[in-house]
């Protein structure tokens, strides 16, 4: 299945949980401190699954489970001083609530931050980010659309595309 590629974004169909995790893992290997990844997609589209892969790509050994209950989980990143933050806004519905919870510190920090349900706090987020939208297509199929905003993320996506799918 060849990915549909435009200059600025990447569209990909995953056929399994394992494939979504592998895609996350490949992306995770390219991330660095300060990176922000925003995930948008309904329940059951594979957001947490993708994050598990990203964690694996960063070399995080501990299992990454859903942080819905505690909203933000943090993990040390091996060989780096920054941390990996996994944030789940499932239970946060407004920008005011996110502000009250002190979540901006994560968005603008020096760690790697992945946010599930990021669309709920769009106006709080830095302009530059990688936005990934996940859609349900079939029982085992999910569409993933990667959209970079800013130079860092355009380069990141180019490298990711080359690593994950070979050059065009």
Partner 1 sequence: MVLVLGLETSCDETAAAVVADGREILSNVVASQIELHRRYGGVFPEIASRQHILDIVPVIEEALAQAKVGWDSLDALAVTAGPGLVGSLLVGVNVAKGIAWARGLPLIGVNHLEAHLYANWLIPPNDTRHAVQKEQIPPPQFPLICLIVSGGHSDLVLMTGHGQYRVLGRTLDDAAGEAFDKVARLLGLGYPGGPAIQAAAENGNPCRFSLPRAMLERGYDFSFSGLKTAVLRIVQRYASGGKERGQARYRLFSSPTASAQRQLPLADLAASFQAAVVDVLVKKTKRAAEEFQVKEVLLAGGVASNKLLRQRMSAQINVPVRYPPPILCTDNAAMVAAAGYFKHMAGERSSWDLDVRPGMALK
Q: Which residues bind partner 1 (CB under 8 A)?
A: 42-44, 48-49, 52, 63, 65-66, 68-71, 73-74, 90-93, 97, 100-102, 135-137, 139
For partner 1, give the closer residue by CB, 2 or 63: 63
For partner 1, give the closer residue by CB, 30 or 145: 145
For partner 1, give the closer residue by CB, 75 or 165: 75
Task: Quote the tokens at residue 137.
Answer: 């297509």
For partner 1, give the closer residue by CB, 10 or 49: 49
Residue 66 CB, shortest distance to partner 1, in Å, is 5
Residue 115 CB, shortest distance to partner 1, in Å, is 16
How would DSSP label each residue in 34-80? T-EEEEE--TTSSHHHHHHHHHHHTT--S-----TTTSEEEEEPTT-
Residue 92 CB, shortest distance to partner 1, in Å, is 8
Sign of CA dihedral 54, 71, 107, 143: positive
CA distance 149 to 130: 6
Distance of CA 50 to the CA centre of its chain: 7
């Amino acid at each position: 299945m060849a990915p549909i590629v435009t200059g600025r974004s990447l569209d990909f169909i995953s056929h399994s949980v394992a494939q979504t995790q592998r895609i996350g893992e490949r992306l995770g290997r390219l991330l660095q401190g300060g990176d922000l990844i925003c995930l948008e997609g309904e329940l059951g589209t594979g957001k947490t699954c993708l994050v598990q892969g990203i964690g694996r790509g960063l070399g995080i050994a501990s299992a990454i489970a859903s942080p819905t209950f505690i909203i933000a989980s943090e993990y040390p990143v091996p060989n780096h001083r920054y941390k990996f933050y996994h944030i789940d806004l499932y239970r946060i519905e407004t920008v005011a609530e996110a502000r009250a919870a002190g979540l901006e510190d994560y968005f603008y920090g020096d760690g790697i931050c992945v946010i599930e349900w990021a669309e709920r706090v769009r106006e709080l987020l830095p302009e530059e980010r990688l936005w990934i939208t996940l859609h349900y297509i079939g029982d085992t199929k999910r569409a993933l659309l990667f959209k970079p905003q800013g130079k860092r993320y355009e380069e990141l996506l180019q490298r990711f595309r080359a690593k994950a799918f070979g050059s065009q």
